Every structure is written in C-alpha cells, then in structure tokens.
C-alpha cells in the first residue's frame, strides 16, 4: 500500500473494544501486515501526559469546554507525531478511540454544541480521518458492569452516571446510522472470538484482502 489505512474502534466503557484492537492487530500482523497500534487520548509522550490529567478521578472540576480542548490538544499531537507519519509510510494504524469519542462524550455526553466539537475536530485532525470505524456496541449498563468488574479503580469518565453513558452510546449509534460507509456497528455481546469474526470481515473489506 502506498498509503496507509486508518482503522478506529469506538464504544462505551467496558464494551470490549480494547480486546478487539488486540485481536485484530495480532491477526493482521500474522497475515504479514505492518500495523501500528495506538490509543486516545494518548499514543505519544505528550498526549499520554494529557491522558493522565483527563482521566484522573481527582480532576472533577474540568469545565466541559476545557475538557474538549484538552482532548483536541492530545489528538493534534497524536496525529502530527504518530498517525500521519505511519499512514504516509503505508502502514495500517489501529487506534483505540479517536475523534468520534469526542463527538459522543463531549458532544452528546457533556452537551457541547455539535458545531463547536466539529470545529475542534477540523483543527486537531488536520484532515486525517479513519477509513473504517468499528463501534463495538453493548448497552451502557452492561459496559459499566464489565468496567466495575475489572477490580481496578474507575477513571474519571467511567465514574459518570448511567444516563451520561446512555447518551454516549446513543451518539455512537447515531454516527453509525449517519455515516454507514465508514462507521460500522458490531454487536459486542458475543464472545470475543465471535466479535472478532465480525471485525475481521470489516477489516478484510477496507483492506481489500482476499
């Protein structure tokens, strides 16, 4: 590939997307593909430092607009330092969350204006956008139950109310309906192997694999 392919995973907390990122990465590498796996917020030292601020439960005073700007700053660094160069080198980039999470969490979840969120996307992504976005979909209450069952402290966003997470899920489903060519919903209630089968079919299509 002269140009890379950008695949992102989205979904509510505890939906299983991180497991699917790992499984897809392993499968593609075993098939001989050059894969860069990353996450948001994060992916570079500067963006990871911003992640610590954003997800720390002690930082409850974040104003919604300040939160939005922090996510955009982390994304701008991530795109410039890692994602764009990897795509230019013809690699497959698989990212655990990207701008659609900001649309869902800060837009629908926090109630920020869609045009404000879209304007920040334009600046932060600088034209870099996923070729395929996979929404691993589970009911918000199922995802939160899974997150709580990990026996590790919940981060700041995981501690939000069920109503908040239901708004986030609805936003992901609305994105899949509005952009069916790019955003694909996958049922996350099956076994990891069953979900991976559905994910692999979508990846084969976008990568034009036999």
The total number of structural domains in the chain stands at 1
- Mind listing the pLDDT tens digit for each residue in 61-90? 999 999 999 999 999 999 999 999 999 999
**Domain range for residue 153?**
5-207
What is the domain-level CATH number for residue 96?
Answer: 3.40.50.300
Task: Phi first, then psi: give them for residue 69, nearest 5 degrees.
Answer: -65, -35
Residue 160: predicted pLDDT: 93
- Mind listing the pLDDT tens digit for each residue in 125-172? 999 999 999 999 999 999 999 998 888 889 999 999 999 999 999 999
Helix, strand or coil, per DSSP, at residue 156 = coil
Q: Output the six-digit token pair for 76.
A: 């701008």
């Amino acid at each position: 590939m002269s140009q890379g392919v950008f695949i992102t995973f989205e979904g509510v907390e505890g939906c299983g997307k991180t497991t699917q990122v790992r499984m897809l990465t392993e499968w593609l590498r075993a098939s001989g593909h050059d894969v860069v796996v990353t996450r948001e917020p994060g992916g570079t030292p500067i963006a990871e430092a911003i992640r610590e601020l954003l997800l720390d439960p002690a930082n409850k005073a974040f104003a919604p607009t300040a939160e939005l700007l922090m996510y955009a700053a982390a994304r701008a660094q991530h795109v410039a330092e890692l994602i764009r160069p990897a795509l230019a080198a013809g690699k497959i980039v698989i990212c655990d969350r990207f701008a659609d999470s900001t649309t869902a969490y800060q837009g629908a979840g926090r109630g920020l204006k869609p045009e404000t969120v879209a304007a920040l996307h334009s600046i932060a992504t600088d034209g870099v956008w996923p070729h395929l976005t996979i929404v691993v979909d589970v009911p918000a209450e199922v995802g939160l139950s899974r997150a709580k069952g990990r026996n590790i402290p919940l981060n700041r966003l995981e501690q939000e109310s069920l109503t908040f997470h239901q708004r986030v899920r609805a936003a992901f489903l609305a994105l899949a309906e509005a952009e069916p060519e790019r955003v694909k919903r996958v049922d996350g209630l099956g076994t990891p192997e069953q979900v991976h089968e559905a994910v692999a079919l979508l990846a084969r299509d976008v990568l034009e694999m036999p």
